[in-house]
Amino acid sequence: MSMRTWGQNLLKAVTNNAVSSLTSKRFINIAARKATPANYVLATYRAFPSLEPIRFQPVSKDLLGLPVRRDILWQAAVYERDAARVGSREILGRGDMGYSKKKLLPQKGSGKARQGDRGSPIRHDGGRAFGRAPGHDYSTELPKQVYAKAIRTALSYQYQQGHLLIVDDVADFVTGHENAGKLFMSEHGLVGKSVTFIVDNFRNNLNDATVKQRRVEIVSKEGVTVQDILKPQRLIIESRALMYLAQEYQPVSALNAISPKPIETAA
């Protein structure tokens, strides 16, 4: 046996040994710790404005039971902030400086370096080359599925913190008097806390009663952003609005799998 084949055999033996050790008891821990999380969370649906529990409603873990993914939330927040930029900044170009547009020197014969006009970007007090005009679009792109997951992750986070209060019916007061809003905040210990309502439809009394509440926001279900969900200390959402979000930002169906599996039909 040459030295080389001996070395190769030794290498083989070592790798075989490594693989067999993998298949022995080392991975047993991994199999033993395998578990699947609950498919549903038991959400409490509440009355309004008492916020007393009325009933339990199982809600899919894809909506309220997702683990926190800070990377996805961050991407969504950046995406929203980019899209919200107006882009109104005006930058002066070479023609906007108020200088003469005339060439400063003749091209040849002066004995000096070549010069263009007074506003040329090459001059220290010249205009900006390729300056952005107002109306510049700073928006960036994000895959729909990532944004949808961000919405669901944000809802899950607030739910897991105990800050998501789901109202079974309509989140509206019987009166639009400002005392209704004040009383609601003080009764539930929300004074000084930021509270956001996500409503299914316009709630006149809720709006009127909370106009003077500095830290109360009312958001319609269509306009909900990830930041709206993440920012408030208490998020009060109507059950219909929650269903709307679940539908609008639903997880990708298994039917859209990359390599489709045959669908079992009850033939």
Partner 1 sequence: MFSPRVLRLLGQSQKCRHHSTGTLRAMTHIQKSSQLPHVEPGKPFEVSKVIGDSMFPSLDKVSASDLVLKKLSNDQGKAWYTITRTRSGLLPVYSDIKADGSVKTVIRRIEGDVSQLRNDIKLALGISKHDIYIKDTSKQIVIRGDYVSHVKQILQKAEF
Q: Which of residues 98-137 bind partner 1 (CB under 8 A)?
A: 137
The footprint of partner 1 on residues 238-267 (CB under 8 A) is 243-244, 246-248, 250, 252, 254, 256-259, 261
78 binds partner 1 (CB under 8 A): no
Q: How far apart are CA 200 and CA 186, in angstroms?
A: 24
- DSSP 8-state class, residue 129: T
Pick 257 or 266: Cβ nearer partner 1: 257
Q: Can you say whether residue 51 is alpha, beta or left, with left for phi > 0 and alpha for psi between -120 and 50 degrees?
A: left
175 is a site residue for partner 1 (CB under 8 A): no
- Measured from the CB atom, is 1 or 30 closer to partner 1? 30
Based on the shown chain and the rule CB under 8 A, indicate whether residue 224 belongs to the binding site for partner 1. yes
Helix H or strand E encompassing 84: helix 70-84
d(CA 6, CA 38): 54
Q: Does 160 bind partner 1 (CB under 8 A)?
A: no
Residues 184-223 that bind partner 1 (CB under 8 A): 196, 200-202, 204, 207, 211, 214, 217-223
User: Facing residues of 236 across strands?
Assistant: 165, 197
Q: How far is the CB of 2 from partner 1 (least distance, A)?
A: 30
Pick the binder of partner 1 from 35, 113, 263, 266 (CB under 8 A): 35
Nearer to partner 1, 19 or 267 (CB): 19
**Euclidean distance between CA atoms 188 and 177, whole angstroms:** 18
Q: Which of 68, 219, 242 is CA-nearest to residue 166?
A: 242
